[in-house]
C-alpha cells in the first residue's frame, strides 16, 4: 500500500520551559513545519503521565512525540529524567502490544532550538507517513464481533 497520500495524526507533548518555547521560536521566526502534529503544553515532561500517551494512541493518533528540556536543563531539576525512563519503559510495552517502535519519539529541544525542533518534526512526520496508519496486530482476522456492538473506550 502506498502511504504517499496518508496524513498521519501526531500528538506532541511539550514542556513549558524548553520545547514549547522552541516551537514558539519556530513560529516567531516563521519557520514552516508539517501541520500533522498537534502540540500540547505541559509544565514539564515529568508531568507527562503515560496514560496521556496511551489515550492518544487509543483515540486514533498514529504517533506521539515526547519532548522536553535537554538532560541537565530541566526547570524542575531532574524530572525530564523520569520522562526519559518512562519513555524507554513505555516503548517496550507498546512494542509488545504490537506497535512499531518508530511511533513514539523522544526529542530534547531547548528554547533556542526552534530550527531543530521544526526539522525534527518534519522528519518524524515523514517517518510516520512511511509506517502508514496505526494498525495493531495487522491481519488478525478470525470472526468479527457483531457490527451492532461497537466497543467504547472506558475512560
Q: Quick one: 50 or 123, whose CB is closer to another protein?
A: 50
Reading the block at residue 14, the C-alpha cell is 511539550
Are 39 and 77 spatial neighbours (Cβ–Cβ below 8 Å)? Answer: no
* Parallel, antiparallel or unpaired: strands 104-108 and 10-15: unpaired
Interaction site with another protein (CB under 8 A): 49-51, 53-55, 57-60, 71, 78, 81-86, 88-90, 92-93, 96-98, 134-145, 147, 149-155
Task: Compute the least distance from the CB of residue 31 to another protein, in Å.
Answer: 28
Conformational region of residue 68, where left means phi above 0, alpha means psi within -120 to 50, and beta covers everything else: beta
Q: Quick one: 26 or 53, whose CB is closer to another protein?
A: 53
Are 46 and 74 spatial neighbours (Cβ–Cβ below 8 Å)? Answer: yes
Q: Quick one: 58 or 112, whose CB is closer to another protein?
A: 58
Task: Compute the least distance from the CB of residue 56 to another protein, in Å.
Answer: 10
Amino acid at each position: 500500500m502506498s502511504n504517499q497520500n496518508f496524513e498521519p495524526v501526531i500528538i506532541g507533548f511539550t514542556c513549558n520551559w524548553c520545547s514549547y518555547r522552541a516551537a514558539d521560536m519556530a513560529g516567531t521566526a516563521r519557520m514552516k513545519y508539517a501541520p500533522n502534529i498537534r502540540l500540547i503544553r505541559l509544565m514539564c515532561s515529568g508531568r507527562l503521565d503515560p496514560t496521556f500517551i496511551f489515550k492518544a494512541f487509543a483515540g486514533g493518533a498514529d504517533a506521539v512525540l515526547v519532548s522536553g528540556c535537554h538532560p541537565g536543563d530541566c526547570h524542575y531539576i531532574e524530572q525530564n529524567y523520569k520522562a526519559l525512563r518512562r519513555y524507554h519503559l513505555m516503548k517496550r510495552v507498546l512494542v509488545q502490544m504490537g506497535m512499531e517502535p518508530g511511533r513514539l519519539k523522544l526529542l530534547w529541544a531547548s528554547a533556542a532550538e526552534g530550527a531543530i525542533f521544526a526539522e525534527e518534526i518534519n522528519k518524524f512526520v515523514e517517518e510516520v507517513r512511511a509506517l502508514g496508519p496505526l494498525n495493531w496486530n495487522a491481519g488478525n482476522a478470525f470472526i468479527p464481533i457483531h457490527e451492532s456492538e461497537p466497543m467504547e473506550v472506558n475512560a
